[in-house]
Structure 1
């Protein structure tokens, strides 16, 4: 299977599992990954992002394979804009 076939075979659900595995070092069920598995998952995540990531976050692979870096001011603006999406758990905090 070549890289293009691999990317086309990854569903959004599979991508989320791969991303979780890369970030935590284990599958969502709790099974740890070997270093080789983690490296392979990371490559698959980067390939998937290079095709589907149209809203790249700070330091990710954007659609088209470009590495995307956002400046500190861009990130601050993005996080300020996203504050309305945050669910407050403690109602005593503003």
Structure 2
């Protein structure tokens, strides 16, 4: 089975299981993921999400900052940090 075929067979439940395996570093049965398996799982999750979810719901999405957010572009509020040691 090719990688593309595997991607087509994924569903939200399987993707959730892959994410959990990546987070824990092991499969549900307790067997550790190899570095190659972890990379392949991450690639599968990333590809599936980019094809099936809006950008805002994908793992790793960081919303762009806007002018209305606190601390953006407000130099007046900056304070010096004094390290005690």
- Runs of 5+ unmatched residues, structure 1: 61-67, 74-94
For residues 59 and 16 of structure 1, the distance between their equivalents in structure 2, rounded to whole angstroms, comes to 11
Structure 1 partner of 2:23: 23
**More relative contact order in 1 or in 2 (CA 8 Å, sep 6+)?**
2
Structure-2 change in CA distance of 1:32 and 1:72 (3 Å): farther
The CA deviation at 1:16 is 1.1
| Number of residue pairs the alignment of both structures matches | 66
The CA deviation at 1:27 is 1.3
Post-superposition CA distance 1:43-72 (Å, at most 9, x none): 101011111122634863xxxxxxx42147
Structure 1 partner of 2:51: 51
Decide which structure has greater strand share.
Answer: 1
The higher radius of gyration belongs to: 2
Moved over 6 A (4+): none
Note the aligned Cα RMSD (angstroms): 2.6
What TM-score, normalized by structure 1, do the two folds share?
Answer: 0.55
What TM-score, normalized by structure 2, do the two folds share?
Answer: 0.60
